[in-house]
């Protein structure tokens, strides 16, 4: 079991450019979650999918951020017109929903917007 895979591990963009982050959940897990982590705000929930359907996007900034899950093996988080305040570590987690619905996290993508 390779765990949750996230690519790229590091991404540097210029202000106003687009960034696409990729996540491959653990095989067989039906839920995928996106979070972001900053020193100031800590860990914040962004959005999640269950069986590829968007369920809760209450943490997503209303503009510029979007997430998709086109198939059960990957999800993407896209940030348009990136701003310096978008700099953070973006974390993806997956869960099988069995037992206590424990979430398992990937290594994260560190996004730096210059």
Residues that bind other proteins (CB under 8 A): 31, 33, 35, 42-45, 48, 50, 55-56, 58-59, 91, 93, 95, 97, 99-108
Closer residue to other proteins in complex, CB, 86/108: 108
Q: What is the rounded CA–CA span in Å between residue 99 and residue 91?
A: 22
Residue 46 contacts residue 35 (beta carbons within 8 Å): yes
Provide, rounded to whole angstroms, the least separation between the CB of residue 31 and other proteins.
Answer: 5
Closer residue to other proteins in complex, CB, 1/58: 58
Provide, rounded to whole angstroms, the least separation between the CB of residue 25 and other proteins.
Answer: 13
Distances (CA, A) of 106 to 6, 54, 69, 90, 114: 6, 20, 16, 9, 24
Quick one: tokens of 48?
A: 């999640």
Closer residue to other proteins in complex, CB, 46/79: 46
Provide, rounded to whole angstroms, the least separation between the CB of residue 10 and other proteins.
Answer: 11
Quick one: tokens of 112?
A: 């730096």
């Amino acid at each position: 079991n390779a765990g949750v895979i996230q690519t790229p591990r590091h991404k540097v963009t210029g202000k106003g450019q687009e960034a696409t982050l990729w996540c491959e959940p653990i095989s067989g897990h039906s839920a995928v979650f996106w979070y972001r982590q900053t020193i100031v705000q800590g860990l914040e929930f962004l959005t999640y999918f269950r069986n590829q359907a968007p369920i809760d996007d209450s943490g997503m900034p209303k503009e510029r951020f979007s997430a998709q899950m086109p198939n059960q093996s990957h999800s993407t988080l896209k940030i348009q017109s990136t701003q310096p305040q978008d700099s953070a570590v973006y974390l993806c987690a997956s869960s099988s929903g069995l037992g206590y619905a424990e979430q398992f996290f990937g290594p994260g993508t560190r996004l730096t917007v210059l």
